[in-house]
Amino acid sequence: MNIHEFIELKGRQLAYYVSAFLANRIPYSEINLFTWDTLEEWSVLEIAPNQPYSTKEKVFWHLLHQVNFWSEGILLEDEQVQHEIQTCIRVLTGYRTELTEFCGIRP
């Protein structure tokens, strides 16, 4: 699997998990499990150090960080955080393709 395929697959999965959590369909702990599984899968990819980031990859890493940085309460209640998360979800699911201000970095 290359980096583009990884981000496409994991980006859609992350969007699903976060959307399900925000809709109270899954517990917050599922996001934590997804994060650790994703990082484990990432660790076995061979990525060249100078491999450029795509916009989608920057958004993916940003969203993954945000849902692990903020508490469950903030994620569910803070309107600004929710707006940012929804923007990231739209990028990861292909509903928004223009550049965003989000710039996550690889672990």
Does any domain span residue 98?
A: no
| DSSP one-letter code for 29 | H
The structural domain count of the chain equals 1
Does any domain span residue 103?
A: no
Supply the range of the domain harboring residue 36. Answer: 3-92
pLDDT tens over the chain, length 107 residues: 899 999 999 999 999 999 999 999 999 999 999 999 999 999 999 888 888 999 999 999 999 999 999 999 999 999 999 999 999 999 999 887 666 678 888 98
Does any domain span residue 99?
A: no
Does any domain span residue 104?
A: no
Return the structure tokens found at 1.
């699997």
How many whole angstroms separate alpha carbon 92 and alpha carbon 78?
Answer: 21
pTM of the model: 0.92
